[in-house]
Amino acid sequence: MLELLTTDFFLYALVAGLSLALVAGPLGSFIVWRQMSYFGDTLAHSALLGIAIGLVTGSNPQLSIIVSSAIFACLLALLDRKPAIATDALLGILAHSTLALGIVVLALTDSVRIDLEAYLFGALLTINPTDLMWVIVVAALVAATLGRLWNQLLSATVHMELAQIEGAQVQRLNLILMLLIALTIAVSMKIVGVLLITSLLIIPPAAARRLANTPEQMAVTASAIGALSVITGLLVAFYADVPVGPAIVVVATMIFFLLYFYPTRQK
Amino acid sequence: MEELDGDNRVLLRARGITKQFGERKVLDNIDLEIKQGQILTLIGPNGAGKTTLVRITLGLLSADSGSISQRRNLRVGYMPQRLHIKPTLPLTVARFLRLGGHQNDAVIADCLKKLHVPHLVDQQMVEISGGELQRVLLARALLRKPELLILDEPAQGVDVAGQAELYALIDEISAEQDCGVLMISHDLHLVMSATDEVICLNHHVCCHGKPEQVSNDPAYLDLFGARTAENIAVYTHNHTHEHDIAGAVIPEEGKD
Question: CB contact, 8 Å: B95 with chain A?
Answer: yes
Q: Per residue in B104-161, pLDDT tens?
A: 889 999 899 988 889 998 999 999 988 889 999 999 999 988 999 999 988 887 887 7
Query: What does the pLDDT average to over B74-94?
Result: 91
Residue window 191-210, chain A: list those with CB within 8 Å of chain B: 206, 209
B97 found inside a domain:
yes
Pick the more confident residue, B4 or B135.
B135
- Nearest CA-CA distance, residue B184 and chain A, Å: 17
Residue at which a domain ends, from B99, B126, B145? B145
| Count: domains in chain B | 2
DSSP B35: E
Do residue B54 and residue B115 come from a single domain? Answer: no
* pLDDT, mean over chain B: 82
Do residue B99 and residue B224 come from a single domain? Answer: no
> Which residue range is the domain that position A140 belongs to?
2-261
Do residue B141 and residue B152 come from a single domain? Answer: no
Question: CB contact, 8 Å: A213 with chain B?
Answer: yes
- At A116 the pLDDT is 77
* CATH number of the CATH domain containing B199: 3.40.50.300
- At B34 the pLDDT is 92
- At A264 the pLDDT is 65
Do residue B53 and residue B94 come from a single domain? Answer: no
- At A85 the pLDDT is 72
- At B6 the pLDDT is 56
Residue B100's nearest CA partner among B142, B59, B129 is: B142
A130 found inside a domain:
yes
Residue B34's DSSP bridge partners are B12
Residue B201's DSSP bridge partners are B205
Do residue B168 and residue B139 come from a single domain? Answer: no
Q: What number of other Cβ atoms are within 10 A of residue A17's Cβ?
A: 28
Do the beta carbons of residue B44 and residue B65 sit within 8 Å?
A: no
A149 found inside a domain:
yes
B217 found inside a domain:
yes
* CATH number of the CATH domain containing A145: 1.10.3470.10
Report residue B3: phi and psi, to 5°: -105, 145
- At A266 the pLDDT is 44
**Interatomic CA distance for residues B111 and A168, integer angstroms:** 23
A173 found inside a domain:
yes
| Count: domains in chain A | 1
Q: What is the SS3 assignment for B247?
A: coil
- At A112 the pLDDT is 60
Do residue B190 and residue B215 come from a single domain? Answer: yes
Do residue B183 and residue B251 come from a single domain? Answer: yes
Residue at which a domain ends, from B145, B171, B193? B145
Do residue B129 and residue B230 come from a single domain? Answer: no
Q: What is the pLDDT along chain A (267 residues), one digit of tens a residue?
A: 667 777 888 889 999 999 999 999 999 999 999 988 888 888 888 888 888 888 888 777 788 888 888 998 888 888 777 766 777 788 888 888 888 988 888 888 765 666 778 888 888 888 888 889 999 999 999 999 999 999 999 999 999 999 999 888 999 999 999 999 999 998 888 888 888 889 999 999 999 998 999 999 999 999 999 999 999 999 999 899 898 899 999 999 999 999 988 776 544
Do residue B131 and residue B168 come from a single domain? Answer: no
- At A133 the pLDDT is 92
Pick the more confident residue, B43 or A142.
A142
A156 found inside a domain:
yes
A61 found inside a domain:
yes
Asked whether the beta carbons of residue B90 and residue A35 sit closer than 8 angstroms, the reply is no
Q: Per residue in B178-236, pLDDT tens?
A: 899 999 987 667 777 778 888 888 888 888 888 777 777 777 777 776 555 555 545 44
- At A208 the pLDDT is 95
Nearest CB among A155, A166, A217 relative to B90 is that of A217
A266 found inside a domain:
no
Question: CB contact, 8 Å: A109 with chain B?
Answer: no
- At B204 the pLDDT is 87
B135 found inside a domain:
yes
Residue B179's nearest CA partner among B205, B201, B150, B138 is: B150
B216 found inside a domain:
yes
- At A34 the pLDDT is 92
Question: CB contact, 8 Å: B58 with chain A?
Answer: yes
Nearest CB among B76, B91, B124 relative to A158 is that of B91
Nearest CB among A159, A217, A218 relative to B80 is that of A159
**Interatomic CA distance for residues A81 and A69, integer angstroms:** 18
B178 found inside a domain:
yes
Query: What does the pLDDT average to over B7-11?
Result: 78
Asked whether the beta carbons of residue A215 and residue B58 sit closer than 8 angstroms, the reply is no
Chain A residue at shortest CA distance from B86: A33
Do residue B94 and residue B113 come from a single domain? Answer: yes
> Which residue range is the domain that position B244 belongs to?
29-62+148-256
